[in-house]
Amino acid sequence: MSLVNLKNITPVERICGHYGRFVHSKNMTMAFWNIKAGSPLPEHRHGQEQIMTLTDGLFELIVDGERHLLKSGDVFIIPSDALHSGKAISNCTVIDVFNPVREDYLEKDYTPVSKS
């Protein structure tokens, strides 16, 4: 088991306007985002299944060409390999959970993989 306090993780601007803190387990990655209003999420896809929880703000999410306006408290499941993009309509806080681990987020600037 591991205990991580988000206050001890320095945010990384992974995408312009998207500041994330990353926590990894053996099988999952959690990303805690603060996103500036107007910041786009470029169109992309990845092999991980993703659960996106908007904890504050408004976010326009486009998944496989279908638009969704997410508000605080909304949870969206993005299937693996689904093409998606979006834009922060207001300042947003988002929690993303990825399974399996987002290996591209395992850079030295991010928190280390928990061995438990």
In angstroms, the CA 113 to CA 116 distance is 9
Q: What is the mean pLDDT of residues 94-115?
A: 74
DSSP annotation string for 48-97: SEEEEEEEESEEEEEETTEEEEEETT-EEEE-TT--EEEEESS-EEEEEE
pLDDT digits (tens, 9 = 90+) for 7-58: 999 999 999 999 999 999 999 999 999 999 999 999 999 999 999 999 999 9
Distances (CA, A) of 32 to 8, 15, 64, 66: 13, 13, 24, 24
DSSP-derived secondary structure letter, 113: B
Query: Would you state the pLDDT for residue 106?
Result: 84
- Percent of the chain predicted with pLDDT > 90: 84
- The 10s digit of each residue's pLDDT in 69-97 is 999 999 999 999 999 999 999 999 999 99
Distance (Å, rounded) from C-alpha 27 to C-alpha 97?
A: 11
- Residue extents of the structural domains in the chain: 9-100
What is the predicted pLDDT for the residue at 2? 85
CA distance 36 to 106: 23
Q: State the amino acid at position 42 in one-letter form.
A: P
Q: Which CATH superfamily is domain 9-100 in?
A: Jelly Rolls (2.60.120.10)
Structure tokens at 85: 């993009």
